Amino acid sequence: LDILHTNKVIMNIALVGYGRMGKEIERIALDRGHHIVLKIDENNIKSITSEDLQNVEVAIEFSIPQSAFSNISLMLDHKVPVVSGTTGWIDKLELIIERCKNEHVTFFYASNYSVGVNLFFKLNQHLAKMMNNFPDYDISIEETHHTQKLDAPSGTAITLAEDLVRNIDRKK
């Protein structure tokens, strides 16, 4: 364990979206010795300047679906790498991916960052391939969330559904 701590990298982080998830990321980042150099939300996004972003090494974006694309675009405009977990905006994801390819900027997205959920994604893919051989059985998804969940279906449900469609010939 000491070996892991001797080469510790300290990052200057911008939090884009300062709701529940932004505050939790801040807590974890500070506990790990990182610096939160900028907190961006709907109250200050329009006043962010190049100087504000000068010392940012990575932006962690957990905002809302309606502003995610413009938030990510703003960071990429300033060559700030972005890690995003905002769901509900992925109809524009291909535009960001294309921009990254063309401009050599960095963007990382996942619909869910939980290790357990990502193991579930892999299990879902494997089971979907198996179920493809059993047309007498149907597969459906029903989702229940806490009352503060902003997007429905969630990014997690969408990822699960996309993997089913990709691996089961009879699903569209």
Q: What are the catalytic residues?
A: 145, 149
Give the contacts of 164 (CB within 8 A, at least 6 positions apart). Answer: 124, 128, 139, 141, 171
Distance of CA 25 to the CA centre of its chain: 12
Q: Which residue, among 167, 145, 164, has the nearest Cα to 154 in the 3D structure?
A: 145
Quick one: which of 113, 122, 35, 107 has its CA closest to 77? Answer: 107
